[in-house]
Chains A and B, each alone.
Chain A
């Protein structure tokens, strides 16, 4: 069964760095790509970036200067780090599977940026 699960702190101080982990099961990170998608409350999703199955990365140009995505295939984990957080970075952060259409999503991690 394909599963993705996000974990990380729910509260981040402004200007600090967000670190999230996506732990996957039921598929291999060397066969499928994993993306990070975020969604502010009441708004549409925003694709942030992707870890390709071959280890390459792709980023949304709007976030590229603040965002880093990496992985540990031995632990079946994909990591997101985003620095200089502001209040408009508040929302739910999802990891998803797929190179085009995203056919599996995690439950989401709620992140609030506040002092």
Chain B
């Protein structure tokens, strides 16, 4: 199975700040990488697919980048509603696998 390693596990940032979350795959996943946002008590919601494509309705302050085994999610101008847990997921090879998550909090 492809292992997905996210960093950091937790992150504290101020309103208006830019934050970056990293995701490392154990092998090349050819940009088949999605990012999800999960608010407390809610189901995950798709933010980014194929590494850098923004899902419908997702604010443009979210962006994704990367290739090969290294990917990142960037949030510009952090808003209070961005407090969530973020997961990466590879859908290149079965079984699809997720990262352990990054908990984003406000400083």
Q: Which positions in A face B, CB cutoff 8 Å? A: 35, 43-47, 58, 60-62, 94, 99-108
Contacts and interface: CB of A to CB of B under 8 A. Distances in A.
Interface in B82-107: 87, 89, 91, 94-101
A50 to B, nearest CB: 8
B34 interface: yes
Interface string B2-16: 000000000000000
Contacts of B76: none
A61 B45 CA distance: 25
Nearest to B32: A100
Contact of B49 (A35, A101, A106): A101
Nearest to A97: B46
A101 B94 CA distance: 13
A60 B2 CA distance: 12
B69 interface: no
A61 B87 CA distance: 22
Candidate in A35, A105, A107 with the most chain B CB atoms within 10 angstroms: A105
Interface residues of B, number: 22
- Taking chain A's interface residues, is the majority helix, strand, or loop, or is none over half, making it mixed? loop
Contacts, number: 54
B67 to A, nearest CB: 16
Nearest to B91: A100
B95 A62 contact: yes
Given A100-B34, A101-B50, A108 B97 contact: no
B87 A44 contact: yes
Candidate in A44, A60, A61, A62 with the most chain B CB atoms within 10 angstroms: A44
Nearest to A60: B95
B26 to A, nearest CB: 15
B43 A105 contact: yes
B95 A103 contact: no
Contacts of A58: 94
A105 B36 CA distance: 11
A89 B49 CA distance: 28
